[in-house]
Structure 1
Amino acid sequence: MNTTKFSVMDASKAFKKSRTTIYEAIKNGELSRDNDGLIDLSELIRVYGNPTGVHSSTRTEHVQKDVQVHVQSEVEIVLKEQISLLKNQLDLANQREKSLMQHIEDLTHRIEFKGSLEATKGDEAPPNSGIVKEPHSKKVEPRTEQLSEKPKRYPIPEQVESEPEQRGFWSRFFKPYG
């Protein structure tokens, strides 16, 4: 494998950096030299990017294109998975909305039914009650056992204060109150 290596002077010319900058990068550990004292092209590209004096070969361009195509295909796969997930979430949200709308409709019918029962019981609903009378297609008879039952009352016991504990002769002297 033939790798391109640069001396500090050649690297400074190719990457348009001063020799001092390159020596400082080596001293700080940003760049590393090989045993022969030369700097590998890959190290220089890693730190300073593509050089202005060195042109990439056609092989490098093909590799870059292959990598770019591979990355694009991976991105497409991820995006398709995300679209599928979002479609599932949308379907679930639509089902929840439909279920909740049905529940609201059922509750509205119950309220109207209860209002019509009260209106027939008291001849007419009060004007500000918000009850709308509508003709009933079904006749539903109310449960009589629920309407005739009165709520049970439970007696509340009176608060009884407990008497203080009887204390012996010696506990009066040696145990504090509390």
Structure 2
Amino acid sequence: MQKLTVSELAKLYGYSRQAIYAHINKGNLSKGSDGLIDFSEAIRVFGEPKGKSVDDKQSKSINSQDLTQVDLLKSQVDLLEKQLNQALLRENQSIEREVFYQEQIEAMQRLLEAPKPHMTTFTDQELVQPNMAKTAPEQDKAEAKHEGLTTPEQTENKRILVPEQVEPEQPKRGFLSRFFLPNG
């Protein structure tokens, strides 16, 4: 069969060289190792060449421009589809990551809420002076009732708070002093 160059093929069909190269790059049209295009391959892609009139050449160049624009738009659509798929994939990954982190937070909160058997909490410990804490509000109430002049009898009836006796802690002793010093 006959082999044609890109320029000859463009003249024969009335396309621009850019349109022919666009078909080659897209894979619709194949070029041989010698750089020439088989005529049968051109017929397969573009069909039979028509008679050459001035109107045909103008319409073919317009069609080739439209073809290159269509090819350009198709490639842009493909690029946008790829970008959209990548964005959706990243969004799914971030949602999965967020769910994972939320589960981790909930697990940590459950661990914080669970009481440990060997640990004591602040609410389990008793106050050092429970009597003072209980009687202070009662004393404030009694003073609030007797505002103004007081008689000696009333002052004698007031309660005097006495702190509960707490024995001081003995100083800690070292290992050897436990054996050699008398008990204190």
TM range (shorter): 0.3 to 0.5
Q: Which has the higher helix share?
A: 2
Q: Which has the higher contact order (CA 8 A, sep 6+)?
A: 2
Name the larger-Rg structure: 2
In the superposition, the TM-score normalised over structure 1's length comes to 0.34
In the superposition, the TM-score normalised over structure 2's length comes to 0.33
